[in-house]
Structure 1
Amino acid sequence: MIFRGFVQLTAITTGAILIAACNQSPSTDTDAANSENNEASTSADSDLLQRINNGGVINVGTEGTYPPYTYHNEQNELTGYDVEVTRAVADKLGVSVEFKETQWDAMLAGLDAGRFDMVANQVSLTTPERRAKYDVAEPYNWSGAAVLAPKSDSRFNAWESLKGLKSAQSLSSNYGEMAIKYEAEVVPVDGMAQAIELVKQGRADVTLNDHLAILDYLNKFPDSDLEVKLVAPAEEKRGSGLVLVKGNDEVLAKINEAMTELQADGTLTKLSEQFFGEDVSKR
């Protein structure tokens, strides 16, 4: 009996030790991994801040194929609204900027992997997952829905004016849904270019699309005889700014300060008018 009791006690004690070990091991491994990740993140953040403080080089991800925001001109030089704003920010920070061109689908993955320090490509933090992972600096442009129609059409004084009008829209777009919301008769199209042609031909009364996209078209085709009739109210507009991985608080503050200065000295207004024909830097 004494021997049996000893064996039972030994088994229980050994089991308790094994259970404790099993419970502790994953936690220890996880803590170690988290610690390493935090140290790596802190190191990367410190490196970026140090480069900015020392007048170094910042790496910025962009597409290079998305006019008028980021594209190559006739001389094959990278330019565009987002590109030139980023260069202006770099000048304010006293650093050089090196653009890393990449595909849209790889934009945030490249940011995660540390291939670049920030992204300048009209990236919007529209999902909770993105907002939890990234920070966006002070916006350098604002946009929302807008209505495009012939200059001679004077029927527009509110969004409700769309009721009963023919609106050329892609059925799968948010703007198509807006047209239906305001009881317009939707004329299906494949995209914005076709929609505009239908409006010019009189086969549709209007088309709804992103305000900046419409301004870009009007800037390129000033003789189109079309104009913006309605624009979304300020509270419905979305802003776009430089995007960074969370944790770069000091860097973000420096970028925001630079953006405020560019707004105050008229640089953003000048660049807006250059690429869009009007100031899009204010909400």
Structure 2
Amino acid sequence: MKNRISSLAFLLVFILMLAGCGNNSNNAAESANPESAGSASPEASSSAGTGSSGEGALAAVKQKGSLQIGTEGTYAPFSFHDTSGTLTGFDVDIANEVAKRLGVKAEFVETQWDGMVAGLDAKRFDVIFNEVSINDERKAKYDFSTPYIASRAVLIVRSDNNDIKSFADLKGKKSGQSLTSNLTQIAKDNGAEIVAVDGFNQAVDLLNSKRIDATINDKLSYLDLKTQKPDIALKVVDEEANASQSAAMFRKGESDLVDAVNQALADMQKDGTYLSISKKYFGEDVSK
């Protein structure tokens, strides 16, 4: 009888132990799966509050109070240092005015051209103002503002030259051209004898000394020359119909900043500020 009672007591204790183990298993399952208990994990709570779009580029510029601008500082008349050492130029003046209209300070980051695009990619600055031509290859990777300057290839001769009146008249004539420039091909296509030069200034020197008959060059370079030396005895006798357009360049996807810059440029056109800057460097409106 004693053995029977002991057996019954042992069986009862064993049953109670099994029930306790079952409750512990349920509690463990609930801990491993918090959603079953109707509560979110700390990780889920923190990730739910993070937006995918993040802060806009324009808001970031206004928050820091400055528009950081990539430019060369050695590319006259667009971006260069004057005799006092101050950074100036057409693109610099345009960028300063744009920043002013955005309500922030213009902060220029001077960078060699070869590293400027990489600097934009690395977010060393917000935008490039440096006479950047718009082309399909760049448009595939970057966004541009509306164009703020346009230029054409022009045929330049001495003022007393009446034989060359068009590109076609270059046949058999000496044309001073930089061999790395695509303008050289225009001269070749029209039958010119190419005389290699280091750049525009050397071409002008050779023209003045009558060692060449002509040069095909950028209209903006010619206009700047005439602004600096209005009495120089050179003239433009022909120009290409198609213009190359330049604009501010941005990283892809920063449309709010692009739109704000476009609005500033449009307002500058309307109130005459753009024309004033254009005439300062080129003597005429160079937006078209």
Query: Could you list the runs of 5+ residues in structure 1 that have no partner in the other structure?
Result: 1-38
Secondary structure of the corresponding residue to residue 82 of structure 1: helix
Q: For 1:1-283, what aligned pairs fall within 5 Å after superposition?
A: 42-43=53-54, 46-52=55-61, 56-126=65-135, 128=137, 130-233=138-241, 236-281=242-287, 283=288
Letter in structure 1 aligned against 2:223: L
Structure 1 residues 257, 134: closer, same or farther in 2, change over 3 A?
Answer: same
Secondary structure of the corresponding residue to residue 131 of structure 2: coil
Indicate if the aligned counterparts of 2:134 and 2:245 stay in contact, CA closer than 8 A.
no
Indicate if the aligned counterparts of 1:55 and 1:94 stay in contact, CA closer than 8 A.
no
Give 1:268 shift.
Answer: 1.5
Number of equivalenced pairs = 239
Give 1:50 shift.
Answer: 0.9
Identity %: 41
Give 1:218 shift.
Answer: 2.2
- State TM-score, norm by structure 2: 0.76
Letter in structure 2 aligned against 1:271: I
Secondary structure of the corresponding residue to residue 242 of structure 1: strand
1:67-101 CA-partner distances (Å, limit 9, x unpaired): 11111112211111001001111122222111111
In structure 2, what is the equivalent of residue 15 of structure 1? none
After alignment, is 159-168 or 251-260 more displaced? 159-168
Give 1:138 shift.
Answer: 1.0
Query: Could you list the runs of 5+ residues in structure 2 that have no partner in the other structure?
Result: 1-49
CA RMSD of aligned residues (A): 2.2
Secondary structure of the corresponding residue to residue 272 of structure 1: helix
1:106-136 CA-partner distances (Å, limit 9, x unpaired): 11111111111001111224352x2221111
User: CA–CA distance in 1 between the matches of 2:251 and 2:64?
Assistant: 21
Letter in structure 1 aligned against 2:171: K
Indicate if the aligned counterparts of 2:166 and 2:237 stay in contact, CA closer than 8 A.
no
User: CA–CA distance in 2 between the matches of 1:49 and 1:70?
Assistant: 24
Kindly report structure 1 stretches of 4+ aligned residues shifted beyond 3 Å.
Answer: 39-43, 51-55, 154-158
After alignment, is 168-177 or 201-210 more displaced? 168-177
1:7-46 CA-partner distances (Å, limit 9, x unpaired): xxxxxxxxxxxxxxxxxxxxxxxxxxxxxxxx99944xx3
Give 1:201 shift.
Answer: 1.6
Letter in structure 2 aligned against 1:116: F
Give 1:192 shift.
Answer: 2.3
